[in-house]
Structure 1
Amino acid sequence: MAYPGTAAPRLTEGAGGTLPLLAYLALATVLMVADQRGGFASQARQHLSALAEPVWWLASSPGRLAEGAHELVTTRSRLLADNERLTRELQVNASRLHRLAAVAEENQRLRELLGGTRGYRLEAKLAGIIDVDLDPSRQRILLDAGSDDGVRVGQAMIDAGGVLGQVIEVTPRRATALLLTDPEHAVPVQVARSGLRTIAFGTGRTDMLRLPNIPQSADIRVGDRLVTSGIGGRFPAGFPVGTVEQLHPDDTRLFVVAQARPAARLDRGLEVLLVNNTLDAVDDGPPLPPPPAAEAPGEPPAENTAGADPATAPAGQGPTP
């Protein structure tokens, strides 16, 4: 409403504040449509992020430097601790090695005194498993090697864990082996800790061996490791057989019965080793003299009489003047 004496507003004065707003709205609309159609805003953000990356790298430098210093200190302290631990272990292992060397020398002297165990070496042959029979009353395996490959009846059979059994039947291309846990199998064993000798019998179970008739005063405990004693000569000495898991008195209360878990992996594995002791070649005396040289036919044997002693000449003959 216009009052008397006032000037009427002009069009340019009212539109001066509205036109920029409309221009901004139009520009914003164009930019949104262009971004929707061509993705210009995302490309611009990528370029701006690449330009801002050095700024972020400089801003994070103090944190990265602190983290690197902490890691360096931690790594150095850990290396020092590991070095100290390995030095102690090296000293302990060196002392054990010296002790083992002394024990080995003593063992060699005892073997020389006892006799009968010198000159033996271990012969091993790899064979594959074709078939496995784990019936409680018959536990045997079939091997893909036979007499043509050097397999013999009585060879001991082992795997990575320990004794598996022994070969009982051989054909030219196949061999049958009796497993350690077969009810008809027995192996002489020795307690590695105390040296007690006994016999381990199969039970028909792949997870248990039975050691009967152990004296009450025998030095055997739960957890003792059993190895082959070498008695009988069929199983080489020192191979793992099992670990004692249970001890209980027998029905007469006069002896102890032990139950052991086999060391061999009876229910898995595809290959076994057939081992046996063989004698090394030894010299039994001085070498034989060479055979005499052959003489030419019709030529009398050469006699060296030029230097013969007159005292050894036949009676009634003197030295030739």
Structure 2
Amino acid sequence: MKRINFKKIIYIGAVIMLLIFLHFSKLILPLESFLLKSLSPVMNGMYLTSSKIKTSYDKQADKRDLSAIVEQQNTRMNQLIAENSRLKSLEDENRTLRNYLKFLSTKEKKYLMANVISSGSIDLNSQSVLLDKGTKDGLYSGLAILSSEGNIVGKIINAKENISEVCIINASRCQLAAAIQNKEKTVGIAQGDLGLTIKMEFIPQNADIKVGDIIISSGLEKSIPRGLVIGQISHIKKESNELWQAARIEPLTNLEDLVVVSVLLP
């Protein structure tokens, strides 16, 4: 066992006591001042270094905290955008359904509501849409499709058990027996024009038509009654040396916004 060196302990204690005495008696004040002045640059450098380290650490911590806050805010913003979009979609759908209810309540015809579930067709034709109703619901080719305003927007051209394909009135292969609401009640065929608009050709040269005239279904098709609005004449092509004149028709319904439609039943 190592022996305790009492002399060394007594010596160290005496030195400490002497330093304490000299400090309080201010006898070593000059020496303390000299040492503090000498060590001041070193102490200042150590303080600045530690301060820079602390500042750098705090900045990094602040950056991490700020990054986390920004990420949280972006996540929240995306959630709010998605929720707002969902509510806007529900609002639009409710407005459409209210319009349908208002329109259908004034008619004595039978209707079936259907949802547009896809753009495109059974044979991949892009100028048509698919509905979630089919032959099991009593649908078949030739039935008229109406918007919430009661305007005809297309007709069924292909019906399967659970789905139906509808050609939109501006599609090239969509033809409707039409009539102009003019004095002569001029009849003809309204046909889609490359998915952009509707045209009505072979109108007699002497027929009195003008821009703004309303085009309606003529009733000459078995499953489509007379009086359904197709659109409005926006342009007339008339040449003096031609036997016929033609009209361009603009739909009164936004054909890009079809989400819910009604099928006019016989």
Bigger relative contact order, structure 1 or 2, given CA contacts below 8 A and separation 6+?
A: 2
Corresponding residue number in structure 1 for 2:227: 238
TM-score (norm 1): 0.45
Structure richer in helix, relative to its length = 2
Corresponding residue number in structure 1 for 2:159: 170
Corresponding residue number in structure 2 for 1:317: none
**By how many angstroms is 1:254 displaced?**
2.4
How far apart in 2 are the matches of 1:259 and 1:166? 20
| AA of the residue aligned to 2:162 | R
How far apart in 2 are the matches of 1:209 and 1:251? 23
Check the 8 A contact 1:138/1:183 in 2, yes or no: no
Corresponding residue number in structure 1 for 2:9: none
Corresponding residue number in structure 2 for 1:29: none
Check the 8 A contact 1:236/1:276 in 2, yes or no: no
**By how many angstroms is 1:250 displaced?**
5.7
Corresponding residue number in structure 1 for 2:103: none
Q: 1:255 aligns with which of 212, 231, 244?
A: 244
What runs of 5+ residues in structure 1 fail to find an aligned partner? 1-120, 278-321
Deviation per residue, 1:136-158 (Å, 9 max, x gap): x7410011111222222221111
Check the 8 A contact 1:163/1:263 in 2, yes or no: no
Corresponding residue number in structure 1 for 2:194: 204
- Secondary structure in structure 2 of the residue aligned to 1:267: helix
TM-score (norm 2): 0.54
1:128 matched to 2:115: yes
- Secondary structure in structure 1 of the residue aligned to 2:120: strand
**By how many angstroms is 1:252 displaced?**
5.8
Which of structure 1's runs of 4+ aligned residues deviate more than 3 A? Answer: none
Change (3 A) 1:130 1:250: farther
Change (3 A) 1:138 1:252: farther
Check the 8 A contact 1:158/1:264 in 2, yes or no: no
| AA of the residue aligned to 1:157 | I
Change (3 A) 1:250 1:273: farther
What runs of 5+ residues in structure 2 fail to find an aligned partner? 1-107
Give percent identity, aligned residues only.
23
1:218 matched to 2:211: no
**By how many angstroms is 1:245 displaced?**
0.6
Q: 2:133 aligns with which of 145, 153, 158?
A: 145
**By how many angstroms is 1:201 displaced?**
1.0
Q: How does 1:38-117 map to 2 (within 5 A)?
A: none
How far apart in 1 are the matches of 2:244 and 2:155? 29
- Secondary structure in structure 2 of the residue aligned to 1:217: coil
Check the 8 A contact 2:234/2:248 in 1, yes or no: yes
| AA of the residue aligned to 2:230 | V
* Residues matched between the structures, number: 154
Q: How does 1:230-309 map to 2 (within 5 A)?
A: 230-249=219-238, 253-277=242-266
